[in-house]
């Protein structure tokens, strides 16, 4: 596996592979890999001859009081895992490489970035779309794979690709969970033993939501109220919403496109999770 540090090196490599008629699948990450990341790499490998993983803890998507400095990092361990997954290139630029002095552009998907995580984290999604746009331009992939845990990020990136006419197929990969239902996340490493148990309130809430939805008696607002009540007994709710998958607008009725989305603070750690409401009850 090649480790490349500059945009120029990365672009030159991509141009060579594309000139040779090969396809490239991209997996953008912030590192500290877990089985969820490895599943994205495996999905990328199924699509294209070359898999590029980017590892960049992107300062532009962290708010002032967020965890940029403490975000977990393990570059050597990540490289080992990426090699095992058959990744061809790890692109790991520095912040100065991505945002050199004088950098002043921003890519923003205006409407989809406002609700949910966008309301709690102003500017976050503009940071995501700006860095992902740069990665698309540098690497020129035909495919890019993102996890469905960050379903709002995925919807925003799909919109950006459509709006800006990139010929990139965006692939959403289902959430990978621990055996007890907790969605995998690099931020799970912040959880104390007690918080790790408390964090199960997220996947429990998804199960409750699906149970209530399959009964068909409660409105979306009533389901949200029940879930908020359950979570509030053990943790602090940032949001619980039932929304439509494509527009992210609140659902007035439960249908195949309804997603139950949660953001919850467990101790100091903010966790998100989601599911289609009319999907099966596991986990
Ligand atoms: O999902 C993430 O890890 C990040 O938001 C991404 C897409 C790598 C952009 O920094």
- pLDDT mean across residues, the chain: 97
Nearest to 153 by CA among 125, 122, 184, 188: 125
pLDDT digit string, tens, across residues 45-58:
999 999 999 999 99
Ligand 1 atom 5 nearest Cα: 128
**Which residue has 């929304």 as its token pair?**
243
- Ligand 1 center to 226 CA (angstroms): 32
In degrees rounded to 5, what are phi and psi of residue 243?
-130, 165
DSSP assignment of the chain, as one string? -EEE-SHHHHHHHHHHHHHTT--EEEEEE-S---HHHHHHHHHHHHH-SEEEEEE---GGGS-TTSSTTTS---HHHHHHHHHHTT-SEEE---HHHHS-TT-------TTTTSSTHHHHSTTHHHHHHHHHHHHHHHH--SEEEEEGGGHHHHHHHHHHHHHTT---EEEEEPPPB-TTSPBP-GGGGG--HHHHHHTHHHHHHHHHHHHHHHHT-S-HHHHHHHHHHHHHTTSEEEEEEEEETTT-PBPSS--TTEEEEEEEEETTEEEEEEEETTS----
Report the nearest atom of ligand 1 relative to the CA of 61.
10
Minimal CA–CA distance to 199: which of 211, 186, 188? 188
Query: For the residues 66-87, what does the mean pLDDT come to?
Result: 97
How far is 81 from 37, CA to CA, in rounded Å?
10
In this structure, what token pair is assigned to residue 146?
């993102």
Q: Which atom of ligand 1 is nearest to the CA of 28?
A: 8
Examine the pLDDT at 272 and tell me if it is beyond 70: yes
Nearest CA to ligand 1 atom 2: 29
Q: Which residues contact 240 (CB under 8 A, 6 or more apart)?
A: 205, 224, 227, 228, 231, 260, 261, 262
Closest CA to 77 of 107, 23, 38: 38
Domains and CATH numbers, the chain: 2-173 (3.40.50.620), 186-275 (3.30.1300.10)
d(CA 159, CA 157): 5
Centre of ligand 1 to C-alpha 67, Å, is 14
For 149-195, the pLDDT digits (tens) are: 999 999 999 999 999 999 999 999 999 999 999 999 999 999 999 99
What gap in Å lies between CA 46 and CA 209, rounded to an integer? 33
The catalytic site residues sit at 37
Please report, to the nearest 10 degrees, the dihedral formed by the alpha carbons of residues 40, 46, 51, 57 taken in order: -10
Q: In angstroms, what is the span from residue 32 Cα to ligand 1's centroid? A: 12
| Pocket test residue of 36, 61, 93 for ligand 1, highest count of atoms within 8 A of CB | 61
- Ligand 1 centroid, distance to 253 Cα (angstroms): 31
Average pLDDT over residues 123-149: 98
Residues framing ligand 1 (Cβ under 6 A): 28-30, 58, 61, 128, 131-132, 150, 153
The 10 Å Cβ neighbour count of residue 116 is 23
In the predicted structure, residue 210 carries a pLDDT above the cut 80: yes
Interval 240-249: pLDDT, tens: 999 999 899 9
Predicted confidence (pLDDT) at residue 9 exceeds the cutoff of 60: yes
212 burial (CB, 10 Å; 0-12 / 13-18 / 19+) is buried
Nearest CA to ligand 1 atom 3: 29
Q: Give the model's confidence band at 280: pLDDT under 50 very low, under 70 low, under 90 confident, else very high.
A: low
Name which residue sits closest to atom 7 of ligand 1, judged by CA: 28
């Amino acid at each position: 596996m090649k480790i490349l540090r500059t945009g120029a090196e990365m672009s030159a490599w991509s141009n060579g592979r594309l000139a040779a008629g090969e396809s490239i699948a991209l997996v953008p990450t912030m590192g500290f890999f877990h089985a969820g990341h490895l599943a994205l790499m495996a999905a990328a490998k199924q699509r294209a001859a070359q898999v590029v993983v980017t590892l960049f803890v992107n300062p532009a998507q962290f708010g002032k009081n967020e965890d940029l400095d403490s975000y977990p990092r393990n570059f050597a361990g990540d490289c080992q895992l990426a090699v095992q997954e058959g990744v061809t290139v790890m692109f790991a630029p520095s912040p100065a490489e991505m945002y050199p002095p004088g950098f002043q552009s921003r890519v923003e998907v205006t409407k989809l970035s406002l609700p949910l995580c966008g309301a709690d984290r102003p500017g976050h999604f503009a940071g995501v779309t700006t860095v992902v746009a740069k990665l698309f331009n540098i690497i020129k992939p035909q495919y890019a794979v993102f996890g469905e845990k960050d379903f709002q990020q995925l919807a925003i990136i799909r919109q950006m690709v459509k709006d800006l006419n990139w010929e990139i197929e965006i692939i959403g990969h289902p959430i990978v969970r621990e055996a007890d239902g907790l969605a995998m996340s690099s931020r799970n490493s912040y959880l104390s033993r007690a918080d790790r148990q408390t964090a199960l309130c997220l996947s429990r809430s998804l199960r409750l939501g699906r149970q209530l939805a399959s009964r068909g008696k409660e409105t979306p607002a009533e389901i949200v109220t029940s879930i908020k009540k359950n979570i509030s007994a053990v943790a602090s709710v940032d949001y619980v919403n039932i929304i439509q998958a494509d527009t992210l607008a609140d659902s007035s009725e439960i249908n195949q496109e309804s997603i139950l989305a949660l953001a919850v603070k467990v101790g100091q750690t903010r966790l998100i999770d989601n599911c289609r409401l009319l999907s099966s009850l596991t986990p």
